[in-house]
Structure 1
């Protein structure tokens, strides 16, 4: 595994990305020296990205909105799950907090992970 080094700087990161990119078109066989090099580079890059470019989970309203967009669901569909159109609008506009009952229904009916729905988030100022 020649030339493998820790990724400490942005320049090191760019070097590692350049090195691993060569493997994307012709992935090495696992267990070979080149396959091991690929795995080590991928692990180093992932660790650097996790430390320097963390991606936080969306808040509950962002999660619902993204799910609706991905599945082609409307506000009316959300109203059916939550029980009323005004309630659905208030949730999406951050005027009403998502209750445990709402989170439960969204989890059961739409399959949205409960842990994404029950985290704290800010409501809009009135």
Structure 2
């Protein structure tokens, strides 16, 4: 691929973002260490920054994060009850009737690996 016609510039709108994606697709198979690889890296950085700014990923809901992790690990409410202080509390938290306490957040973070930031968003 000739890189003489490629212009590296900030991405300011969705049309330029789409063009950047097309360019990235074209450059993905470029040889390692080549000029094309440098261009690929630059365009990818610009596209990622545009995407972060214009299409941010919403933060997960703490309850959904807990349910997801329980499903992923095939855990029942009974299995995680000790992290919440009992089976009734698990049910109350998962049904939105009780907020997570700091102790629950610590237990879930340390034992299930759920981000404390996610759990604090409640």
Q: How does the TM-score come out when normalised to structure 2?
A: 0.85
Distance 2:73 2:61 in 1: 18
Unaligned runs of 5+ in 2: none
> Which residue, 16, 23, 41 being the options, matches 1:12?
16
The secondary structure found in structure 2 opposite 1:67 is helix
Cα deviation, residue 85, structure 1: 1.5
Distance 2:50 2:114 in 1: 29
When the two structures are aligned, how many residues end up with a matched partner? 118
| 2:27–2:37 contact (8 Å) kept in structure 1 | no
Distance 1:99 1:69 in 2: 22
Alpha carbons of structure 1 residues 27 and 99: separation in structure 2 relative to 1, 3 Å = farther
Distance 2:102 2:27 in 1: 46
| 1:28–1:38 contact (8 Å) kept in structure 2 | no
Q: How does the TM-score come out when normalised to structure 1?
A: 0.82
Distance 1:9 1:114 in 2: 35
Distance 1:105 1:3 in 2: 51
Moved more, 88-97 or 72-81: 72-81
Q: What do the CA deviations read for 1:69-114 (whole angstroms, capped 9, x no partner)?
A: 2222222222232132211111111110000011111122212222
> Which residue, 23, 34, 38 being the options, matches 2:27?
23
Note the aligned Cα RMSD (angstroms): 1.7
